[in-house]
Amino acid sequence: RDAQESRGLGDVYKRQPLTENAQLKDPELTIIQGPEGPQMNHANSKSLFDAAQKVIPGGVNSPVRAFRSVGGNPLFFKGGEGAYLIDADDNRYVDYVGAWGPLILGHGSPLVVDALRNQLDQGIGYGASTEAEITIATKIVDIVPSIEKVRLTTSGTEATMSAIRVARGYTGRDAIVKFEGCYHGHADGLLVKAGSGALTLGEPDSLGVPKAYTDLTHVLPYNDAQAVEDFFAKHGDSIACLIVEPIAGNMNLVPPVPGFLETLRAVCDKHGTVLIFDEVMTGFRVARGGAQEVYGVTPDMTCLGKVIGGGLPVGAFGGRTDIMNMIAPLGAVYQAGTLSGSPLAVAAGICMLDAISQPGFYEDLGARAEQLMTGLKACAAAAGIPFTTNQVGGMFGCFFSEEDTVTNFAQVMACNSDHFQRYFHLMLDGGVYLAPSAFEAGFISIVHGDAELAATLAAAENAFAALAS
């Protein structure tokens, strides 16, 4: 903590001490011997999973939590503190999932907790408009280059689904384009060669989605500018919108190659197609203004989530005024949500946007992630394990691949899944929690300090050595 507090970002990032009922046990008491060395005891998580399977399909409320691609039983967590997660058996882990991205200030940030506590004293929700909604909308408009007006939702899926509906209403067209390996939520019509949990399950397409929906969805290879140009030359005038993760984060982390996003902008301009950036994951994560700030390409519409809720359920979509004015009550495109603009989520989001706007925030976050990636590659090289990484700001991806750089879906799918499975469990036993899927990006928070990085690299050194043997 002393090291973190001396990093020049002020007292706002100090961790709160653990509450009395969340005190950690001596780590030595939670270690048992396993076939590959010390392993943590997960007996309580196992019992909870057994109970969950009786009342919840598959025992989980989101498929990627199920550990299907890495084997074993999923962990159940009961607490978080700063850069750490605490499971049901009191094991402590350096966390690189961060609730899948939003906890950029770490677990239990005093800023966020205080904002929520203050709002709770005033009420949980009203089902009506609040001044705070104007405050957060104004901040989003000021920060994100493409957004002139914004509408809040309660999830990223709602944001992408609504943005596509608005684009169809604006253009009068039905067909859309997405990219393989990019996940835009679980709305019908988008679960076609999707990333994230769909890849984890080995089922890129979902049952229960009528073929008539997916017939309107055209899928192109990510980072293939020529394929985009060829497709739009034939079909561009019939495409309502092109939706893309400007940095793919749901087939692990794959940044755009030079010229790819520029090509998307050019073909959409030529054919009157609405360009939608899905920045639910990258927005306020890779830079204050998102990936569009990093690469200098401005979409017509942007979808957001994660960070602007401070860990609470939230989403948003916005864009040019002429497009956004198509939405009811101004226009004929209907979109609604009873809990949209939840006072609790908005309070946490305002706090988050203020915190990440501090000078030097993203420089420090990116430096920490780069330090981690450099260290992991060194550990792998020392053990002779083929391994490469991608990193943009506070997001990163790790690949067990012979390739020097991973830039497309085919390369991701060719990675050594057996190595990842063993690596995941070895790191878990070393006190490091990674996403339980080779197709998910990793996230670092501003409270991951020198001690956490050192512990992570020590665990990685042992993990790679075990893989080599």
- Active-site residue set: 183, 278, 306
Phi, psi (rounded to 5 degrees) for 93? -130, 140
- d(CA 61, CA 77) in angstroms, rounded, equals 14
Specify the 3-state DSSP secondary structure of 351. helix
Q: Which of 102, 107, 104, 109 is nearest to 83 (CA)?
A: 107
- d(CA 374, CA 75) in angstroms, rounded, equals 28
Two structure tokens written together for 151: 């509408």
> In the Cβ-directed half-sphere of 99, how many Cα atoms lie within 13 Å?
21
Q: Which of 224, 170, 143, 91 is nearest to 332 (CA)?
A: 170
Two structure tokens written together for 355: 């915190």
Find the DSSP H helices in 121-155.
Answer: 131-143
User: Which single residue is written with the structure tokens 């501090």?
Assistant: 358
Could you tell me if 220 and 228 are in contact, meaning their C-beta atoms sit under 8 angstroms apart?
A: yes
- d(CA 291, CA 463) in angstroms, rounded, equals 32
- d(CA 170, CA 274) in angstroms, rounded, equals 9
Could you tell me if 277 and 247 are in contact, meaning their C-beta atoms sit under 8 angstroms apart?
A: no
Q: Which of 76, 90, 102, 115 is nearest to 25 (CA)?
A: 90
CA distances from 130 to 101, 141, 183, 307, 343 (A): 27, 17, 32, 20, 8
- d(CA 419, CA 79) in angstroms, rounded, equals 29
